[in-house]
Amino acid sequence: MGRLMPLPHDNTKYNRITIEMQINQVMQWMVEGMTRRQIIPEAEKVWGCKSRKVDDLIAAARKKFVEQAENLDRKEIVAEAIERYHHLYQAGLGQRQLAVSIAAQQALMKMIGADGPPK
């Protein structure tokens, strides 16, 4: 049986790491579509948190989402989206699902602003 690791003497660092892990988990739950009402009992079960603490974690998760979004490069996002649409277009053709290919092409054209008459 493995030995339990003692808590570090520097509880501040331990607490920061623990809180960061909790925020990341709350972010994951939010991405999966869980609501506050669903997150609270889950956090209480996993960490023994009360609803006020969970509200703080949710607020921190939202703040972290904003920070991550601010660091994104628009060109990178557009390039990734173009590749996804290209993949969907090809997959639609390969499976003879022409409606999928057409929808992917139309979405791509709309995203890049080429869906209407030239201006």
pLDDT score recorded for residue 12: 66
Q: Is the pLDDT of residue 4 over 90?
A: no
Give one DSSP letter per residue of the chain, joined into a string: -PPPPPPPS-HHHHHHHHHHHHHHHHHHHHHTT--HHHHHHHHHHHH---HHHHHHHHHHHHHHHHHHHHT--HHHHHHHHHHHHHHHHHHHHHTT-HHHHHHHHHHHHHHHT-SS---
Q: What is the pLDDT of residue 10?
A: 53
Q: What is the pLDDT of residues 54-103, one digit of tens each?
A: 999 999 999 999 998 888 888 888 899 999 999 999 999 999 999 999 99
Where are the chain's structural domains?
A: 11-70, 74-112
Query: What percent of the chain lies above the pLDDT cut of 70?
Result: 87
